[in-house]
Structure 1
Amino acid sequence: MSRILIVGAGQSGLQLALGLQRAGHEVTVMSARTSEEIRGGRVMSTQCMFGQALDTERRIGADLWAESGHRIDGLGVSVAGPESQRVIDWLGRLDQYAQSIDQRVKMAAWLELFEAEGGAVVINAATVSDLDQLAPLYDLTLVAAGKGEITALFDRDPARSPYDTPQRALALAYVHGMTRRPEHPDTDAVRFNIVPGVAELINIPSYTVSGNCDILFWEAIPGGPLDVFDQYAGDPKAVLGAILDALRTYLPWEYERCANVELTDAGATLVGRYAPQVRHAVAELPSGGHVLGMADVTVANDPITGQGSNNAARCADTYLQAILEHGDRPFDREFMQNTADAYWNRVAVCTAWTNAMLAPPPPHVLEILGAAGQFQPIADRFANGFSNPEDYTTWLLDPQLAADYIAQVAAQR
């Protein structure tokens, strides 16, 4: 069996580490923080894992929250009109439940599980120099740390990266006390609220260090009226206040649910922005060796479609299968590139869909959103595309296919 080094203790790195460990490989994980530091730190992101991504965790026995009772069964869309009224509002039903487990909870637990089962954990924020020295000691080195100096090893792929500046200003808060939507009081659902030309507000029922909660997540268009959050970045209460002020102004139906909200903990807010981009997945070290990037290191989409953690799971699943099928042959540059290509083929549609959502929606997408409010099968199919984005290529991303599908559903009514 092979000796493998994984740098980074996030969704993709730890999922792959657990899968390889349970297949008999000797795996070392390098993490910048201990499990205690992860659990006690600031939130790292939003996340909602949909059915197919959760299946990749189940296959390696890493679905530790299957019996937690935290399940998301729907996904809904609302669109605000010029008077802050709902002009579109519907809920799609998910075929498989989704889950949002705070990455502080999940990654701390996975890191402890990996170590308890005999995995080697090294606490070190790896540099390029570290990798240059360590990589020759392993049969394969993977980089799953999406931040820090080592990401500079991976060059931007301009052919796959249409944006070179941030397309949204991001602000989020994890809160207790948010009430359920009165339209579906018995269904936990992700809610996408679109304020055309201004921002999107995504509400995600979640589970955090202090129990069940909700995530309030604004994606504001840079330079627009809601591009105001950066000034509050160092003050969690001020971040929450700005988020609620924006709800009061643009989405009063969501603000009504927030009368008694409070932050879940001192690290429950995050403010920032980054340019979505795709990078070349194979990088050369100064000494001439090669390392293979994973997940956000190579495909960093905007979180507007909620695919980041799902793509990370897809990446871990793709790489695990490739490594197991490769056997005892050397993990050379050709293997790395072929594996990266297999991952890209799996998530290219996610990048196309996400980038399309960052632009003003074309007429056929507006027609789909409107039709979903009239026809439940359209709402359900849209919702389940978050688990299986490949389905969008057969209708959502093509104007004629979309029109044909709407007409077909309408004729069956």
Structure 2
Amino acid sequence: MRKILIVGAGQSGLQLALGLQSNGYEVTLMSNRTADEIRTGRVMSTQCMFHTALQHERDLQLNFWESQAPRIEGVGVSVAGPDSSRVVDWVGKLDGYAQSVDQRVKMAGWMETFAQRGGQLVIHGAAVSDLDYFSRTYDLVMVSAGKGELVSMFGRDASRSPFDTPQRALAVAYVHGLGPRPEHPEFDAVRCNLVPGVGELFVMPTLTTSGRADILFWEGVPGGPLDAFQGIKDPAEHLAKTLELMEKFTPWEYARATKVELTDANATLAGRYAPTVRKPVGRLPGGGLVLGVGDVVVANDPITGQGSNTASKCAHSYLHSILEHGDRPFDEEWMEATFERHWEKTQHVVKWTNAMLGPPPEHVLNLIGASGQLQPAADRFANGFNDPADFDNFFFEPEKTNAYLGSLTGAQG
């Protein structure tokens, strides 16, 4: 039986550990926190997972909260005008619903399941020196802890990382008491509110530790008016600032948020990081090799909501690469090939996400505007969140965008 060590208990690490475990591998999982510490700790992300990523969980029978989490049936886009009115407002329908489960709920539950199924769970913050030892006792060591000392083992891939500084200041609040969007009270959607030159507000339904909730998520251009959360430690002050900015920049969202309250004392999060693609192989001082997983190798800005989706798809891809490899050694060539297999699809996510961080060119503005009158365009844009590769066909190049819109209106593009 092959012995595998996974360091880090997030979406990719836990999904991969549980998948390998179900296929008979002897898996050790290292986490710097217990399940209870995760469950009662601070919110970690704004995860919204679309159909393909959710299906990977279903295939491993890990979709424990599917019946409880709100079904997200659409993705809506609003664009604020100079006077804070909406100049664009539409919603595209998803072919398969999306869901958001607070990672405190999911990671704690998955970690307990892994241990109950006989996996070896080690609660210990791993250092590079630890991995040096473990690399000699395991057939394969993988690192899925996206922050801290271990990430420094994986060099930045400059050819795939156009940014070396954070492109957005991030601020998250989980709330109860948000009213329905009056435009579509009969179904849930993720709402993307674009404030040109300032940033974005994302609003999404979620399942948290206390049941149904909503996430209010500001992405602010650094140095701009939304870059206002540094130094705020008090959760109530964080929420008050969130609402103040909503009232000013997205009053249509503020109108349904006048009675919200935080879900719990750890329901806020603020920070920033540079979107980065890293080399997949880390070399240890003693000569051993480790393979990077999930956010370790591809850390996108959350503007396109792809973080947990990419992590799930990475775990799915790596699982199949490991299973197909049989008893052969997990050498550097295999590690590189395993990542490149994942990159074939993930490169589309990176390309789209990085494009969304810049000022939209005229043809993209035309596409977003036209989607308000052309429901097929709105639906296709929404479903791109599940399959970002499709954006290559109608989003990046003016000629393709114009031809696509022309095909919908009967005009010659």
- State the TM-score, normalized to the length of structure 2: 0.99
Residue number in structure 1 paired with 2:262: 263
User: 1:101 and 2:101 equivalent?
Assistant: yes
- Counterparts of 2:157 and 2:333, CA distance in 1: 18
Aligned-pair identity (%): 59
Residue number in structure 1 paired with 2:111: 111
Equivalent residues of 2:177, 2:260 under 8 A apart: yes
- Counterparts of 1:392 and 1:209, CA distance in 2: 35
- Counterparts of 1:269 and 1:201, CA distance in 2: 15
> 295-304 or 395-404, which moves further after superposition?
395-404
Residue number in structure 2 paired with 1:57: 57
Equivalent residues of 2:69, 2:212 under 8 A apart: no
How far does the alpha carbon of each residue in 1:301-347 deviate from its partner, in whole angstroms, 9 at most, with x for none?
Answer: 10000000000001000000000000111111111110011111120
- Counterparts of 1:55 and 1:409, CA distance in 2: 31
Residue number in structure 2 paired with 1:29: 29
Residue number in structure 2 paired with 1:361: 360
Letter in 2 for 1:215: I
How far does the alpha carbon of each residue in 1:48-67 deviate from its partner, in whole angstroms, 9 at most, with x for none?
Answer: 00001111111111111222
Residue number in structure 2 paired with 1:315: 314
Residue number in structure 1 paired with 2:246: 247
User: 1:348 and 2:347 equivalent?
Assistant: yes
Residue number in structure 1 paired with 2:138: 138
> Structure 1 residue 259: deviation in Å?
1.1
Residue number in structure 1 paired with 2:220: 220
SS at match of 1:138: coil
User: 1:67 and 2:64 equivalent?
Assistant: no
- Counterparts of 1:259 and 1:244, CA distance in 2: 8
SS at match of 1:382: helix
Task: Specify every segment of 5 or more residues in structure 2 that has no aligned partner in the other structure, as ranges.
Answer: none
> Structure 1 residue 70: deviation in Å?
2.1
Residue number in structure 2 paired with 1:388: 387
- Counterparts of 1:36 and 1:399, CA distance in 2: 51
Equivalent residues of 2:3, 2:139 under 8 A apart: yes
User: 1:286 and 2:296 equivalent?
Assistant: no
Equivalent residues of 2:132, 2:285 under 8 A apart: yes
Aligned counterparts, 1:81-230, within 5 A? 81-230=81-230
Letter in 1 for 2:22: R
> Structure 1 residue 372: deviation in Å?
0.5
Residue number in structure 2 paired with 1:296: 295
How far does the alpha carbon of each residue in 1:372-398 deviate from its partner, in whole angstroms, 9 at most, with x for none?
Answer: 100100000000010011111111122
How far does the alpha carbon of each residue in 1:189-228 deviate from its partner, in whole angstroms, 9 at most, with x for none?
Answer: 0000000000100001111001100000000000112211
Letter in 2 for 1:280: K
How far does the alpha carbon of each residue in 1:116-149 deviate from its partner, in whole angstroms, 9 at most, with x for none?
Answer: 0111100011110111111111000000000111
- Counterparts of 2:62 and 2:203, CA distance in 1: 26
Equivalent residues of 2:69, 2:99 under 8 A apart: no
How far does the alpha carbon of each residue in 1:61-82 deviate from its partner, in whole angstroms, 9 at most, with x for none?
Answer: 1111222252110100000000
Equivalent residues of 2:318, 2:338 under 8 A apart: yes
- State the TM-score, normalized to the length of structure 1: 0.99
Runs of 4+ displaced beyond 2 Å? none
- Counterparts of 1:324 and 1:70, CA distance in 2: 34
- Counterparts of 1:262 and 1:107, CA distance in 2: 24
Q: Residue 281 and residue 69 in structure 1: after superposition, are their counterparts in 2 closer, same or farther (change >3 A)?
A: closer
> Structure 1 residue 113: deviation in Å?
0.5
Residue number in structure 1 paired with 2:80: 80
> 188-197 or 63-72, which moves further after superposition?
63-72
- Counterparts of 1:12 and 1:286, CA distance in 2: 25
SS at match of 1:243: helix
> Structure 1 residue 291: deviation in Å?
0.2
Letter in 2 for 1:210: S
- Counterparts of 2:408 and 2:215, CA distance in 1: 34
- Counterparts of 1:258 and 1:409, CA distance in 2: 36
Equivalent residues of 2:75, 2:382 under 8 A apart: yes
Letter in 1 for 2:351: A
- Counterparts of 2:292 and 2:226, CA distance in 1: 34
SS at match of 1:57: helix
> Structure 1 residue 32: deviation in Å?
0.6
SS at match of 1:231: coil
Residue number in structure 2 paired with 1:379: 378
Q: Residue 156 and residue 69 in structure 1: after superposition, are their counterparts in 2 closer, same or farther (change >3 A)?
A: closer
Q: Residue 241 and residue 287 in structure 1: after superposition, are their counterparts in 2 closer, same or farther (change >3 A)?
A: same
Letter in 2 for 1:169: A
Task: Specify every segment of 5 or more residues in structure 1 that has no aligned partner in the other structure, as ranges.
Answer: none
Equivalent residues of 2:76, 2:192 under 8 A apart: yes
How far does the alpha carbon of each residue in 1:11-41 deviate from its partner, in whole angstroms, 9 at most, with x for none?
Answer: 0000001110001110010001000000000
Aligned residues: 411
User: 1:399 and 2:398 equivalent?
Assistant: yes
Equivalent residues of 2:69, 2:207 under 8 A apart: no
- Counterparts of 1:225 and 1:265, CA distance in 2: 27
- Counterparts of 1:288 and 1:43, CA distance in 2: 37
